Amino acid sequence: MKQYSNLNINVIRAYLIHLLTGTGILMSFFSIISILNEDKLLTFLFLVIALFIDVIDGNLARKFNVKKFCPNVDGIMLDSIVDYINYVFIPCIVIYKFNYVPEQFIIILPILILSISLFSFSYLKIMTENYLYVGFPSIWNVIIIYLSILDLNVWNNLIILVILIILKVIPIKVIHPMRYESHKRRNSIIAIGLIFISLTLLLNTLSINFLDKFKSIFEVIWYLLNAYFIVFVIWINLNFKKN
């Protein structure tokens, strides 16, 4: 009886974790509504919430062996659908709607991002056995958030986006913070901290400048956390070349 009860709990928990993943699509819906209402702040707020959900749901799914207790739901497919919309599709709408690039590029650039990212999502060897993403990952939501924080002009934004598009077809290896076994816990904590710092700076940029004299402190922390991941990616690539 106790074993049967534990099985029920595991099944219920598995479905709840899938439900958590699915709430990401609600964030997509509210984000698109915010874009239509030309509310940039809410657009990004929903994208950040979706990003946070994506950070924690995968860890929960692996910890509680969701695949075993909920075999009829393809968690990878569910996650990929939500991710493509939040990581690629909505950022492309943001680029178009909020004029992140020069006017002559507001159509062609999103088309390039949508097309290249679509094939990278469907490419079976996009992830190595050690959970390294081959090529620049399709984290265009993060890139748009960063461009908003940096508040660059449209030409600088264009240069950065074009460089990242080129990096998508170059076989560099980029860590998946929550899957790289040797540093999973540390990377997960740093990634969550980075989301919090990024959200704070984003809110400060898009609304009232509430950070005041603390802004420089948050910016230093933000740069340091990003520098950590950049250095880690370089180290991983050099390490693989040696092997």
pLDDT tens digits for range 179-210: 666 777 788 888 889 989 998 999 888 877 77
What pLDDT was estimated at residue 5? 55
What pLDDT was estimated at residue 179? 66
134 within 8 A of 171, measured Cβ to Cβ? yes
What pLDDT was estimated at residue 180? 65
What pLDDT was estimated at residue 130? 65
What pLDDT was estimated at residue 241? 57
The stretch 172-176 carries a mean pLDDT of 73
Q: Going along 46-101, which residue ranges are E strands?
A: none
Whole-number percent of the chain with pLDDT over 90: 47
Q: Tokens 């913070």 — which residue?
A: 177
Is the model's pLDDT at 223 over the cut of 90?
Answer: yes
Is the model's pLDDT at 82 over the cut of 70?
Answer: yes
Please tell me the least confidently modeled range out of 81-90, 141-150, 178-187. 178-187
CB atoms within 10 A of CB 7: 11
CA distances, 19 to each of 22, 63, 68, 141, 234 (Å): 5, 16, 16, 22, 36
pLDDT band at 39 (very low <50, low <70, confident <90, very high): very high
Residue 163 exposed, middle or buried by CB count within 10 Å (0-12, 13-18, 19+): exposed
Averaged pLDDT score across all residues of the chain: 86
Q: How far is residue 111's CA from residue 123's CA, in Å, rounded to a whole number? A: 18
The stretch 204-218 carries a mean pLDDT of 83
- Helix orientation angle between 215-242 and 184-206, rounded to the nearest 10 degrees: 140
Residues 6+ apart with CB under 8 A from 88: 113, 114, 117, 118, 121, 138, 140, 141
pLDDT band at 29 (very low <50, low <70, confident <90, very high): very high
Rg (CA), the chain: 19
pLDDT band at 129 (very low <50, low <70, confident <90, very high): low
169 within 8 A of 135, measured Cβ to Cβ? yes
**Pairing status of strand 173-175 against strand 132-134:** antiparallel
